[in-house]
């Protein structure tokens, strides 16, 4: 018998993880419209943009305009990636609810993504976390390449634990474990989570699967059976890290919601409205994601 939770919390990351990876620019007004559509569909968490260097991620250089343009829906936490104090300054001025700090468990990916070693990155993130908490905001922490690195291969679990502990010490309220390039398999997820859940409570962990090889939903199922109830996903199946070769789309939020509802697991999200939002952005980027189209025609 599968042991499933009654409900899960969806962390909608499409406007950030999705749009950071698009070659075709999406106009700011379309991003704003999309985020408002997503919020109306019911998730209580939206990662709306990134306050990173516009040289590194030009796709999200309109972060402040996006944040000021969206209609803030009560009950929704609007988060953004923040790599350093400069980013925090802009992010606080733009009114983020939560700062999402990030680093990678593997040195080579971390350097490729933020131009620093892990040891150099941690003090910067600590400063950001302190500043955000002092300003009355909450902090989320990403760990990338948990299930494998495009440069270094497998990553020791002791390194993941060291970073989880550093985040907890900083006052991070939720840690998202990233399968950055979509290499995790269900057996590996079980092994990794058995190790981590023997040390840390399930409610500080979220899982962030990219669906490069079609294994994200299977990985979610195993995670739920192990007690995890927080999942990142991106409407339309958009996503990928420009500094991780091979990274492709996140698990599509509509696939996650459809699968969970079919099994009686509540998400608080209206699938029809989510599908409409996914179709909206797919049209804007002119790159339809096949699964949700199949879903739309099947209904
Ligand atoms: P750097 O070049 O080493 O930094 O970049 P710097 O401090 O020397 O700054 C360079 C220039 O950028 C300066 O401008 C700074 O002022 C400016 P200049 O003086 O040359 O004109 N700058 C900024 N401008 C605006 N906002 C800022 C900011 N910071 C510096 N916050 C840095 C270091 C970390 C900034 C850079 O490497 C960067 O922005 N990296 C972000 C990369 C990124 O966003 N990657 C994708 C997100 S992570 C991901 O996708 C994985 C995830 O989804 C989980 C998973 O799947 O595993 C989260
Ligand atoms: Mg990602």
What pLDDT digit, counting tens, does each position of 98-115 carry? 999 999 999 999 999 999
Residues 6+ apart with CB under 8 A from 172: 101, 129, 139, 140, 141
Is residue 1 one of the residues assigned to a domain?
A: no
pLDDT score for 228:
98
Ligand 1 centroid from CA 240, angstroms: 16
Residue 92 lies in a domain: yes
Residue 37 lies in a domain: yes
Looking at ligand 1, which residue's alpha carbon is closest to its atom 23?
53
Residue 166 domain-assigned (yes or no): yes
| Residue at 299 is within a domain | no
118: CATH = 3.20.20.70
* Residue from 52, 120, 251 to probe ligand 1 pocket by mutation (most atoms less than 8 Å from CB): 52
pLDDT of residue 299: 44
| DSSP result, 73-110 | -TT-EEEEE--SHHHHHHHHHTT-SEEEEEEESSHHHH
Whether residue 197 is contained in a domain is answered as yes
Q: Quote the pLDDT of residue 66.
A: 98
On whether residue 105 sits in a domain, the answer given is yes
Q: Which ligand is nearest to the CA of 109?
A: 1
Cα–Cα distance between 47 and 179 in angstroms, integer?
A: 17
> Does residue 85 sit within a domain?
yes
Provide the domain limits for residue 72.
9-294
Average pLDDT by stretches of 10, the chain with 299 residues: 95 97 93 98 98 97 98 98 98 98 97 97 98 98 96 95 98 98 97 98 98 96 98 95 87 98 98 97 80 47
Q: What distance in Å separates the CA atoms of residue 10 and residue 287, rounded to the nearest whole number?
A: 24
| Confidence (pLDDT) at 290 | 54
Query: How many domains does the chain contain in total?
Result: 1
161 is a catalytic site residue: no
Pocket of ligand 1 (CB under 6 A): 17, 20, 50-57, 81, 83-84, 86-87, 90, 102, 113-115, 142, 144, 178, 180, 208, 210, 241, 243
Q: Tokens 């699938």 map to which residue? A: 271
């Amino acid at each position: 018998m599968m042991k499933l939770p009654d409900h899960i919390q969806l962390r909608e990351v499409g406007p950030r993880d999705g749009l950071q990876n698009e070659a075709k620019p999406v106009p700011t007004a379309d991003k704003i419209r999309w985020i408002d559509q997503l919020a109306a569909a019911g998730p209580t968490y939206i990662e709306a943009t990134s306050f990173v260097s516009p040289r590194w991620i030009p796709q999200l250089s309109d972060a402040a305009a996006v944040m000021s343009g969206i209609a803030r829906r009560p009950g929704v936490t609007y988060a953004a990636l923040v790599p350093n104090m400069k980013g925090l300054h802009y992010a606080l001025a733009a009114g983020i609810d939560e700062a999402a700090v990030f680093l990678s468990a593997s040195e080579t990916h971390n350097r490729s993504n933020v131009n620093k070693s892990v040891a150099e990155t941690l003090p910067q993130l600590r400063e950001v976390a302190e500043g955000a908490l002092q300003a009355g905001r909450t902090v989320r922490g990403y760990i990338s390449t948990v299930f494998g690195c495009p440069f270094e291969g497998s990553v020791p679990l002791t390194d993941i634990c060291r970073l989880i502990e550093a985040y907890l010490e900083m006052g991070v309220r939720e840690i998202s474990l990233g399968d950055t390039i979509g290499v995790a398999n269900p057996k590996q997820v079980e092994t990794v989570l058995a190790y981590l859940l023997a040390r840390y409570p399930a409610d500080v962990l979220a899982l962030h699967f990219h669906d490069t090889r079609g294994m994200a939903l299977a990985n979610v199922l195993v995670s739920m059976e192990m007690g995890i109830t927080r999942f990142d996903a991106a409407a339309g199946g958009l996503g990928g890290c420009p500094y991780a070769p091979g990274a492709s789309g996140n698990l599509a939020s509509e696939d996650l919601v459809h699968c969970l509802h079919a099994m009686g697991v509540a998400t608080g999200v209206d699938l029809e409205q989510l599908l409409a939002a996914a179709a909206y952005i797919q049209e804007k980027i002119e790159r339809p994601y096949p699964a949700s189209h199949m879903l739309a025609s099947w209904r």
